[in-house]
Amino acid sequence: LFRSAMTPYSTLLGQVGKQVNLRTGEEWEFTQQYVEDLKSLEVELGNPRVQTLLAVDEGDELLDYNVAVEMLTMHASVLCFPGGNHRFTHIDEVIPYIKNMQDRMYL
C-alpha cells in the first residue's frame, strides 16, 4: 500500500457530485455508487493469505501516515520514510522489498 487512505470511502463522501477534470475541463459526476463500489473492495485486515506491505512518506501533506501505520502495524510489514510527500518519493527504496515478497510467494 502506498499513500494509504485507510477509509477512502468515508473521505470521498464529501466529493459526491459534479467534478471537473483539471486537465481537460470536462465535467463528470462522482456518484454515491462509486463510493459504495470502493467500500465493497475493502480487504479484511490480518488475512494470513495476503502479504501486506505498507510504505509511507512521513512528509505526506494530504494523508496522516500515522493512521495507516496504527491500523496496519499488527497486520503488515511497515516501511516509514522520513520526509517525502504525497507523491511518495521513496519508491526506489521499496522495490527490493516488493521483489522479496514476490519471490517468497513462488517458493
Which pLDDT does position 24 carry in this prediction? 96
Answer whether 57's CB lies under 8 Å from 88's CB: yes
Each residue of 40-60: pLDDT tens digit? 887 777 777 778 889 999 999
Q: Is 5 helix (H, G, I), strand (E, B) or coil?
A: coil
d(CA 107, CA 103): 7
* Mean pLDDT in residue range 69-87: 91
Decide if pLDDT at 93 tops 90: yes
d(CA 33, CA 36): 5
**Confidence (pTM):** 0.66
**Phi-psi group of 104: left, alpha or beta (phi > 0 → left; psi -120 to 50 → alpha; rest → beta):** alpha
Decide if pLDDT at 1 tops 60: no
* Mean pLDDT in residue range 61-87: 91
Q: Quick one: which H or E segment has residue 56?
A: strand 53-57
Which pLDDT does position 47 carry in this prediction? 77
